[in-house]
Structure formats: C-alpha cells, structure tokens
Structure 1
C-alpha cells in the first residue's frame, strides 16, 4: 500500500535519541529522511565503530549526507537543501542555528511551505531554555518521575521522555505538513522533551494538586511472582475483572472486596501471593482472560511470546532485532503496511547524489570535500 508520507523529504539535523525517534516514525510513514551529519563523526548514536544497536534501531531506512553546518559554506549548502525539503527536524540549542545565520526564519524565507521542528530539553523559551539534560532530568522536571514512583529515589532503566517527545514531534510535523499542503505555509514546531513528559499526566490532573493521593496499588493491581520465578501483572480494577480474578484464584469469598481499605488490600495480596507461587507464569496466562493476568516480559521473552510473535513485534535489521513500527496501516482492500527493514546508512553514503540533485555541481562538491565541509 502507499504510505501517507511518500514523497515527503525530511532533513534530519538532530542528534541522539529524541530526534531519532521522531524521524524514525516519519520514515516508517513513508517520508524520505535524510540525516545531515558531521563529517568524520556523524550522529553520536553511531558509536565509535560507526554503527551500534541504537543506531540500527533508530536510523534504519534513512539516508545520510555529511555537512558541516557550523561553517558558512555548510550553511549555504543547507540553504539549497531546504529549498527542496518539506520538513526539518533539529535538536540544537534553541536559537543556535539562528545565531549561526540559518534557523527557521531564514529557512522560511527560502521555502515558505517548510515545517521546522525543534526538539529541545525545555523548549524555545522560559528560564530553562538552552539548558541541557538527559532522561532523568526531563522526567524529574516534568512531574512524571514522581508520579510513576511510589517512593523516591527511583531511576527508570529505559528511555521514556525521549521516545514520547519524538512521537509528539512526529505527530506535530505530520499535522503541520497537512496544514502546509492546504494553506501553502509551514510553521515552526517547538517540541519540548519536558513538556511532552508533563503531557503524560493529562489523565491525572490531581497530580497537580499538593497532597493529592497517588494511584497506589491494590491486591488486584500489582505484580505477582510465580513458581518459575517469572512475574505476572494483574490489573483487575473493575468489578467484572475482579470477580474473574477471584474465581481463578479460588477466592470467591473476596468477590465483594474490590474496594476494601488499604490494610485489607495488603492481606488479600499476601493471600494471592501464596496462590500465584504454586504455578508457572505461562499457566496463569492461560487462565480466564477476564482476570487480566498478563506477562511481565523482559526483552528476550518477546521472541517466544505468542502475541508478540503473531504481531511481528520485532524485526531483523542487519542481524539486530529491533522493535517494529507501532504504526500499522491497512487499506480498504486489506493490504497492510510493513516495517521497513533497510539498514541505517553508512556515514555520508548519499552525499553526492543528494547534493547534485540540489544543484551543487561536481566542481563545488570537490572543493567542499577538500575543505572538509562534506
């Protein structure tokens, strides 16, 4: 089937994770994503060897040119590339490219239809604009870290803020592209990683009231260890699912205790613990689906998980298993989209082809290469 962003060109000036997640989703939707990387080094995600599992996972299906955008000659080439692009994704310090002489205002003068998405730690304005940070910085500032942890200190062991911000930015870019197609005018997308993390709390506005109770846990909403030392999740938070859980655990006498007070919840959880430990996790998973008993998988478990396998949750790219795209499209005739599994580009592999198409002649290419611009 035809992907919705087929024919759209995105210049990816971003480095590291948030921009990688953003342009990965755009590429999975059909966009031609051209990574603009520093000569000699490229995106730090490549690692010392020139490639890494993170680079494969986030940059599969993209193209690569090398261009030193810190120098005037490089910015002149970028100007010509922007003239033929539909979108730019950037992760530099807010205002840095404008100060260098070619940010969104200058780009919009060259290409009024251009959509420019700037992914930054704290956004384009405010007292923290320009500050740096990492995952725990964003989650901590946003309120999400404290909301997720029953007790601090707590350190998440996987990225949450970066992929969330990347997904939000990709959605905004796609929407802005639709607007530009309708009006002929693009826009600047100010995508703050911290703001995206705060947005996670939209369904829990009580979090913004001092002293508000946390979601907490209950006997029907927690993890239980099984006979094989694996864990299962239980999320029986409604009457129907709680009743089913009680039936499965031979605890029908507790069927009317879903909303019991905290002390009683602890006693029920202890009782359930003694039952769950009598069987392996797989057997509990095969019980009544209404009981909401789910797997607590580690990464390798997805290889044999029946649902993950049926959905094709992982794909092989250059011998590395990476997550498939979460976007599944199907047309009216039943044709389905699939995850592109083309490997990530070698550093600068597409430089000559793309610059020649942008109007940079052979002689200028040679001079740019001799001067270290490309």
Structure 2
C-alpha cells in the first residue's frame, strides 16, 4: 500500500513545528519526503525533552517516515546537490525568513529555472511581503497580532497561552498542506508550478471566522467573555466537586433541555436562549452550582447516556483510553529502526483504501545522506570527499 500521495516527492528545508507537521501529514499519506538539515546548526526539536532512548519524542513523531540528508548550504557543493535534487523532487517546502533561500542561490526563481513545474511552498510568520516580512515571531505573537488573542481568555486574567500552537499548526501546517495540494492539482491541469506563500499570521487572521465577519459587516468588536462561544454564555467549562472539569456545549434547545433535566433543574432550560448578558451570567452560576455539587465520576455516569453535548475534560493520559479514541485507532506503533517500536499519534485522516503502515520514527541527522547521493549518481569516492570536506554530515 502506497497511499494517495505516493506520486509526490518533497524536499523539506523546514525545522521546529509548522513545516515538519505539514510534511508529516504528507509523508503519512504516502509522499516521499526528504529533509535537508544543517550538519552544524541542529533543529532544536531534536533536543526537545522528553526523550525516549536518547531521542526527542517530538522529533521522533514530527519526522517519522522522512529521510534526512545533512548539507551545509553555505558550501557551493551542497547547493549543487540541491539543484540536482529538484530535477527529481519537484516540490520544495521551506520555512526560512524571506530572502534567505534567494541569498543562498536556491530560491524559487533559481530552482524554477531548473524545473519549470516546481511547486515551492514558503511558510513564514508574516509572509513574503509587508513591513513585517523579515521580523521574528512565534505562535503567541501571530495570534496576538491577528486579533485572535483579544477575545480568547477571561476579563480578569487576560488572554490565554494556548496549550497547542494554533497559528503554527492550523495556520502554517494545515494551510501549507492545502496550498501545496491545490498547487499540485493546478499543475496536473496546466503543467505549471508556482510559489505558494503561506503566512502564519494571515492564516491566524482568517481563523477569526464568525467574530471577524461580525466586525467587518456590522462593526461589532469581539471582546473576552462577550460572545456565545468564548465564555459570554453558559457554553463553558464547569468545575466538579472534586476539582475536575466538564465541558458544556448545549446550545440547541433540545440539548439544553437534556442538560437541565440531567442536573435536576429542568426549569433552567428556557433561559438558555436569552440574549441578555446578565441572564447568561446568572444561568452560568446556576449550572456551576449544580456541577460543584457532584463529583467527576458521578457526572460521567450521569451524562454517559445523555445526548446533551456535555463531555468530561480529559487529561491526555485519559484521552488515550477513551473508547472513541481507541475505536478510531489514533495511536500507532512506529518502528524505531533498532529493536522495538514507539507509540505515537496516528495520522488522523482516514481513507477507504487505507494508508501505508508507519515505516520509522524521525531519522538521525543525515542518516540517508550517502543513500540519497548515490541515488543522484555520486560515486563512493565523491561522497567520501564531500564528507571529508564538511559539505555533508
């Protein structure tokens, strides 16, 4: 089994999270992904704790199913290897700041001259244009500038530092994959490659969704705890008597009725539709009282057979054991390359034709350098010379 993207061959110059998560999805779906890494400037994900057998668990996951070649891109011999690679690998994914690849001589225009059908995906914080194009940033900065953080949090404590990297993954990774695959379809229809400019800030801005649409069309500025879905209604988290939490999303009347009946307060159901902020706050207090009267286990039993959009908040260890997560096969065993395997999160996309089994965890730095060079036609003597000269690692 090869997977639906088995025809794609991708050179991945990215590091950290956004690009590697994007190429992980592509590799899981069958694409051949070759990571180009510096032999002297390590991807920091490789040393990020915790470690399993001396290998970063994050690196082992984000870079599974990919090969690694170590090239010093400051050396002309290494750049020549890249130029040869793009004759065969006709998709490039990179995550440098704008202008870096151009200064190295392997930017889009230079590589397009070698392979006119090249698809070149550049993931950056702020995009290839604009006054911030060369500015440094991280996930929290992109969410702040894009307006997302301004109404995500509590009035008395401020914006929330999210546990997942929303701009990195939903912005850079997922939009990067969408842009790449859209360019592939365009190339199949026209024969033309193109540059795909993915800005994590742009993508985070688009995630404003309903709140952004409301402001642009009606001038309603979204505020913390002021919208139906950000704490301004009973749609929220509620603490149990023993200090755990439940999520309540019973927005529709039929779900609200079941929620209120389950907690023994059916008279509260009619108040769920009130648009008045003070009435929503009062309703939240009533619901909170009922949840705080019961332990977590009691509430789990209470809502197990009730279709009310009410679910327990689970720590990751418990989420792994949830019957829905297990039934969907979201954990897989990935060969380590030595003896045994490592448990990892599986590809979340399901195909009726299936996907290939995971081949290996993230490879050691430059693990496939000699193999790839030999595929390009380099002799053993040439490889040895490049290694001795520090061009490859």
Provide TM-score, normalisation by structure 1.
Answer: 0.92
Shift, 1:276, TM fit:
1.8
- Determine if the alignment matches structure 1 residue 371 to structure 2 residue 372: no
Look up the match of 2:247.
Answer: 233
Q: Distance in 1 between matches of 2:215 and 2:342?
A: 40
Q: Distance in 1 between matches of 2:131 and 2:350?
A: 40
Q: Distance in 1 between matches of 2:220 and 2:103?
A: 41
Shift, 1:273, TM fit:
2.1
Q: What is the root-mean-square deviation in Å for CA atoms of aligned residues?
A: 2.2
- Determine if the alignment matches structure 1 residue 154 to structure 2 residue 168: no
Shift, 1:284, TM fit:
2.8
Structure 2 residue matching 1:88: 3-state secondary structure: strand
Structure 1 residue matching 2:271: 3-state secondary structure: coil
Look up the match of 2:62.
Answer: 58
Look up the match of 2:279.
Answer: 264
- Determine if the alignment matches structure 1 residue 163 to structure 2 residue 162: no
Alignment CA distance shift 1:120-1:349 (3 Å): same
Q: What are the ranges of 5 or more consecutive residues in structure 1 without an aligned counterpart?
A: none
Shift, 1:186, TM fit:
1.0
- When structure 1 is superposed on structure 2, of 125-134 and 200-209 the one drifting more is 200-209
Structure 2 residue matching 1:343: 3-state secondary structure: coil
Q: Distance in 1 between matches of 2:380 and 2:356?
A: 37
Q: Deviations over 1:14-59 (max 9, x none)?
A: 1111111110111111101111111145422111887312101211
In 1, are the aligned partners of 2:245 and 2:296 still within 8 Å (CA)?
Answer: yes
- When structure 1 is superposed on structure 2, of 154-163 and 87-96 the one drifting more is 154-163
- Structure 1 moving runs of 4+ over 6 Å: none
- Determine if the alignment matches structure 1 residue 191 to structure 2 residue 198: yes
Shift, 1:219, TM fit:
5.6
Alignment CA distance shift 1:273-1:342 (3 Å): same
Structure 2 residue matching 1:83: 3-state secondary structure: coil
Structure 2 residue matching 1:116: 3-state secondary structure: strand
Look up the match of 1:94.
Answer: 98
Q: Distance in 2 between matches of 1:366 and 1:66?
A: 14
Structure 1 residue matching 2:208: 3-state secondary structure: helix
- Determine if the alignment matches structure 1 residue 9 to structure 2 residue 9: yes
- When structure 1 is superposed on structure 2, of 284-293 and 361-370 the one drifting more is 284-293
- When structure 1 is superposed on structure 2, of 33-42 and 201-210 the one drifting more is 201-210
Shift, 1:296, TM fit:
1.1
Q: Distance in 2 between matches of 1:337 and 1:367?
A: 40
- Determine if the alignment matches structure 1 residue 360 to structure 2 residue 375: no
- Determine if the alignment matches structure 1 residue 180 to structure 2 residue 187: yes
Q: Distance in 2 between matches of 1:202 and 1:262?
A: 22
Q: Distance in 1 between matches of 2:199 and 2:378?
A: 34
Look up the match of 2:77.
Answer: 73
Shift, 1:88, TM fit:
0.8
Q: How many residues align?
A: 370
Q: Deviations over 1:201-259 (max 9, x none)?
A: 13331245463554143563111122442211000111111111111112111222112
One of 348, 352, 364 as aligned partner of 1:326: 348
Q: Deviations over 1:148-199 (max 9, x none)?
A: 2243243223311111111110111122112222322211110111111112
In 2, are the aligned partners of 1:84 and 1:358 still within 8 Å (CA)?
Answer: no
Q: What are the ranges of 5 or more consecutive residues in structure 2 without an aligned counterpart?
A: none
Q: Deviations over 1:273-312 (max 9, x none)?
A: 2322343334434424421111212211122222112212
